[in-house]
Chain A
Amino acid sequence: MAAVHVYVHVPFCVDPCGYCDFYRGRYRSAGEAVYREALVREIGLRVPEGAVVRSLYFGGGTPSLLTEAGWTAIFNALTARASFETGAEISIEANPASVTKENARMWRTLGVNRVSVGVQSLNNRILRFLNRLHNARQALAALDCLAAAGFQNVSADLIYAIPGQNLRDLRGAVRHLAPSLRHLSAYALAVEPGTPFARRGVVPQSPDQTAAQYEIILETAGLAGLRRYEISNFARPGYECSHNLNTWAYGALIGLGPSAVGFDGRRRYRNVPDIRQYSVSLRRGALPESFEESPGTNTRLRERLMSGLRTRDGTLLSTRERSRLQKLSAEAGLSDCFEWPESGARLKSSKWLVLDEILARLPAEEAVVG
């Protein structure tokens, strides 16, 4: 049986961040119990008997809020049906506020080998603006704590393009964090509808300023040995997130938990983004899906380009697809944007930041497939 990639959504947080549009609710132990029970049922429905897990990723929400009982139940359910491939990547996202010695030790024991810490910024004013639970000192302490517990593969998230943020802040943060990191993710602030920031009318920095901040992060991370392998992700060689690489390569993914998305290469589903409905549905033995689609060949190709071109390796294409794309991009005046390795197509590094513009200018995929 082929190796599988599994994503688990943990829908709890303590206090919502200003920019957050993930599905999550306030953490309560009763809620965790409901969630845990339902998730165990979903594992039973979705994870094939005898599956070999190549990557397992707990995202959120705040997975680091889960109790030991929760973790144990989830891991037990998984290992009851599946095994982990040697060197499998097991990641969790953690909020600095919930990284404690005890938790770190527990995660190690469970087999977690990669922790992604939501540092976001090392400027306390900005952390308050984001409504984060922690300050810069706590974030750094969390990284130390993880190191002390023996975690090697630690990643940090940063956010840029925040109003009032400057280049010095960002360069300083990357420099300061890099020695403790194998991996770094840096995201431009996006104000999504329905978030507290949208309600407050927060506007991210201008595209030009955002671009300048990005360049600084790229440069500083690069000097510190963290190489860009996807638009927003940087890693030391060999520490690229294999879970996400699989997604960008358009690989199959089992999504578990409320609001999680899964894809088997043909069909994509999304679980209902509501913990009650999620659990009710599973208690009845039904898949808790609220959306599904089976993109056609053309749409799939567009999605492959959309995700693959974000990465250093680009998109794998058949010879036929590759030559069609070459022709069409030339016609659209985009020749200058691509490189054409044997395997397919990738973006020139100078064009990464305008990927969406390039994708939007590419003629319809029908034409690409021919």
Chain B
Amino acid sequence: MGKVEAEEIRNFCIVAHVDHGKSTLADRILELTGAVPKEKMRAQYMDQLDIERERGITIKAAAARLSYRSGAGKAYQLNLIDTPGHVDFSYEVSRSLAACEGALLVVDVSQGVEAQTVSNFLLAKASKLAILPVLNKCDLKQSDVERTTRQLRELGVDITHLVKISAKTGEGVPELLEKLVTVIPPPRSRAGEDPEILKALIIDSSYDNYRGVVATIRIFSGRLVEQDRVRLWAAGVETVAAEVGVFSPVPVRVKQLGPGQVGYVAAGWKSMRDVAVGDTLVRAASPPSAPLPGYQRVKPMVYAGLFPTDGENFEALKNGLQKLALNDSSLTIEPEVSDALGFGFKCGFLGLLHMEIVSERLSKELGIETLLASPTVVYRVYQRQGAGETMVEVKSASEMPKEGADRIEEPRIRALIFTPTEMVGPVMQLLEDRRGVLEEMNYLDPRKVILTYDLPLSEVITDFYDRLKSLTRGYASFDYEFKTYAPADMRKLDVLLNGKEVDALSLIVHKDSAARISKSVSSRLAEAIPRQLFEVVVQVASNGRIIARETIRALRKNVTAKCYGGDITRKRKLLEKQREGKKRMKQIGTVEIPKEAFLSILKSGDLNPPSAR
């Protein structure tokens, strides 16, 4: 570390497990520092989007500059850097942490340490941040300060400066601020960095109708002044810094930012894709040198079809998604046409929660109901070619090469599961059913176990979390990070109706569950497809071999007994109704398939094996 750049600056973030009080604490800090007057305060001020407020998580990092005068009368500039609260955004979290010197690790004492407490702690530790443990909800009756303290110690958290607060009442928060400025160090320039040369880390970006893309940045060295010609390192885009300011927490134009400071810059960027989190902002004219470390291009980990539940809303869905993508560079969209569901989009998401958030925002903010179909992870499919090999990324069953594959790799994750000790048996069973490999098992205390598992991502993208929650009556918590790609024996299952393949229903499954899932698929279809004029044979094939089969017997009777003069009008109307119903069915060959039949297969989370045995 080099010299202290600005003695009075403290850059910090708040990290916590969901619902442990992160946003409430941020509100109190904004209030206490006078950034937001009490009468203007609304709950969870930093979380700008309704949906985030509701779920108690934030999607996009933002930052607030706060003024604080310590008990000793010293003035500080605090920069509270908000971090996304979920694992799907772990890369963004890591970039936010990289912009800080310290983190407040908040734990709800009525809950104790949870999965995200641990993963956040580990991330903060890896970023070499000063960690200030904060026990929240100490005013509650059911709080167990002792136990939580022990758990933190067990985890390896330095509890010398432990602070007890109630974010709700504000009790203990002034003391917390006092501790903050002593425990968290001021920013320092990075070793070997030329203090004069501008290097700023992009920690967030958002889209503004007037300014274009606005980036939240942390200056590591040098100075950014309005009208500077700047360049984004990875994107290679050169523009002029038109506006430089800070959030306090409303945007305030300050014209320049110095070393260690956090603020925003609008430089006439047009596309969110250019302004990537983790990229380094430099002066256009600066001599070549290394960018700030840690930059990655985030790639979607999960793909799913997104279809309007009412086919007529396609245009609305298209506009809605484009609007969301404008502010969410990790969301990818490409048009998709499904035999079964009509026009829609194949969307790429960072993970499960990201996927859910997108569909919820479409519904809540834009009023568009959507159907998430066949969520799939990205498989790497290798094929021999001459002496070498080629690799394609496969994002849905229909992309599986027709010629088959020599080998397939699937993404695997490291999952951290916290569970009450008495439920560890069923939880481990669930993980085993999902092809999990136990890596570690630790007792945080006699009542709580931390399981570390190596798991295929494909096994958690549907109903895993729901299962886990219901097995443990809501007590388990779960967090994961992407680990690596590893060989997997995956199979493509094809569904045939009277010998005709139904593309939309193909699936990629693991060899071990192929038989069971095929059976489930064929029997679901046999149940959901009404009897027709002809017998319908439902088959599920893997590598051209039929592994499950059901027969839907031909319809024997559908005729009204009486049709005399007085019956004609009514009967005609009845037939019209029947015909309307049929219009809504999809015809594959001569077989009519109602939408429900597709849904019974395509809807996320339905086909997984039962876990409670």
Contact = CB atoms under 8 A, between A and B. Distances in A.
Instruction: State yes or no: do A and B come from one complex.
Output: yes
Interface in B570-587: 571-572, 575, 578-579, 581-582
A116 interface: no
B209 interface: no
Interface in B550-579: 555-566, 568-569, 571-572, 575, 578-579
B502 interface: no
Contact of B561 (A231, A259, A351, A358): A231
B565 A231 contact: no
A291 B582 CA distance: 29
B366 interface: no
Interface string A328-344: 00000110110000000
A357 B562 contact: no
Given A357-B533, A361-B533, A364-B579, A231 B559 contact: yes
Interface stretch (A145-153, A164-172, A302-310, A318-326): A302-310
B590 interface: yes
Contacts of A299: 572
A353 interface: yes
B569 A268 contact: yes
Given A232-B561, A361-B533, A260 B556 contact: no
Interface string B68-95: 0000000000000000000000000000
A187 interface: yes
A357 B563 CA distance: 15
Nearest to B581: A360
Contacts of B560: 190, 356
Interface string B533-558: 11000000000000000000001111
Contacts of A210: 557
Interface in B25-39: none
Contacts of A259: 566
A253 B568 CA distance: 13
Interface in A228-274: 231-232, 244, 247-248, 253, 255, 259-263, 268, 270
Contact of B558 (A244, A353, A362): A353
A353 B533 contact: no
Interface in A343-370: 351-362, 364
A259 to B, nearest CB: 7
A293 B579 contact: no
B533 A302 contact: no
A87 interface: no
A121 to B, nearest CB: 15
Q: Residue among B534, B562, B566, B568 with the most chain A CB within 10 A?
A: B566
A302 B557 contact: no
Nearest to A250: B568
A211 B557 contact: yes
B249 to A, nearest CB: 60
B243 to A, nearest CB: 61
Contacts of A189: 561
A361 B582 contact: yes
Contacts of B562: 187, 190, 232
Nearest to B568: A303
Given A187-B562, A244-B564, A360-B582, A214 B557 contact: yes
B565 A306 contact: no
Contacts of B568: 261, 263, 268, 303, 306-307
Interface residues of B, number: 27
Contacts of A359: 575, 578-579
Q: Residue among B532, B557, B579, B581 with the most chain A CB within 10 A?
A: B557
Given A268-B569, A334-B533, A360 B557 contact: no
A360 B571 CA distance: 11
A260 B575 CA distance: 22
B530 to A, nearest CB: 10
Nearest to A9: B566
Contacts of B557: 188, 207-208, 210-211, 214, 353-354
A306 B571 contact: yes
Interface string A172-214: 0000000000000001111000000000000000011011001
A314 B575 CA distance: 18
Contacts of B563: 231, 248, 306-307, 310
Contact of A303 (B556, B558, B559, B572): B572
Contacts of A362: 579
A252 to B, nearest CB: 10
Contacts of B589: 333
Given A306-B575, A361-B533, A354 B566 contact: no
A306 B565 CA distance: 12
Contact of A357 (B555, B565, B569, B572): B555
Contacts of A7: 565
Nearest to B589: A333
A247 B556 contact: no
Contacts of B559: 231, 310, 352-357
Contacts of B556: 207-208, 211, 353-354
Contacts of B571: 306
A354 B572 contact: no
Contacts of A357: 532-533, 555, 558-559
Contacts of A231: 559, 561, 563
A364 B569 CA distance: 16
A262 B569 CA distance: 11
A259 B569 CA distance: 13
A260 B565 CA distance: 9
B279 to A, nearest CB: 57
Contacts of B558: 207, 353-357
A364 B575 CA distance: 11
B565 to A, nearest CB: 5
A153 B394 CA distance: 75
Nearest to A214: B557
A302 B564 CA distance: 15
Nearest to A260: B566
Contacts of A302: 572, 575
A258 B120 CA distance: 81
B594 to A, nearest CB: 13
A190 B571 CA distance: 13
Contacts of A303: 568, 572
Nearest to B590: A333
A253 B578 contact: no
Q: Residue among A187, A255, A261 with the most chain B CB within 10 A?
A: A261
B414 to A, nearest CB: 52
A263 B572 CA distance: 15
Contacts of A255: 565-566
A92 B561 CA distance: 20
A354 B532 CA distance: 9
Contacts of A291: 569
B498 to A, nearest CB: 10
A291 B571 CA distance: 15
B560 to A, nearest CB: 6
Cβ-closest 9 pairs across A and B: A333-B590, A211-B556, A360-B578, A187-B561, A211-B557, A261-B566, A357-B558, A188-B561, A207-B557
30 contacts: A7-B565, A208-B557, A211-B556, A214-B557, A231-B559, A231-B561, A231-B563, A291-B569, A299-B572, A306-B563, A306-B568, A306-B572, A306-B575, A307-B563, A333-B533, A333-B590, A336-B534, A353-B556, A353-B558, A353-B559, A354-B555, A354-B557, A354-B558, A355-B558, A355-B559, A356-B560, A357-B555, A357-B559, A361-B579, A364-B579
Interface of B: 532-534, 555-566, 568-569, 571-572, 575, 578-579, 581-582, 589-590, 592
Given A263-B568, A310-B559, 4 more contacts: A255-B566, A306-B568, A355-B559, A360-B579
